[in-house]
Amino acid sequence: MSNSAAYRWSYVDVEAERCREPRARLGQETARARELQGQARSLRRVHRTAAVDVPAVTVSSHAGSEELGAALESACRANQRAEVELAR
């Protein structure tokens, strides 16, 4: 294996490791968003006035750690806003 191939392999491994935790956390936030969407639907059925929007945050499967971090922050903010609105 050439030096450049070895460098590429190690860089890919490091980047994959760097993305693993944000991907897992983004998955948790996505599940949390689905739960909040379900709560909002239930409130709409009962009260017919609840208009809580829980946007879905998506990211490419090839996204790097920076893009994943930005998507994770966006998902956290959206879920926190939805939780506050649902708590009213």
Per-position pLDDT tens, the chain of length 88: 455 555 566 777 888 888 889 999 999 999 999 898 888 878 766 665 556 677 777 788 888 888 888 888 988 988 888 888 888 7
Domain map of the chain by residue range? Answer: 3-87
Q: Are 53 and 10 in contact (CB under 8 A)?
A: no
pLDDT at 43: 74
Cα distances from 26 to residues 6, 18, 83, in angstroms, run 30, 13, 17
3-state class of 74 per DSSP? helix
pLDDT at 40: 81
Helix (H) or strand (E) holding 50: none
Q: Tell me the pTM.
A: 0.58
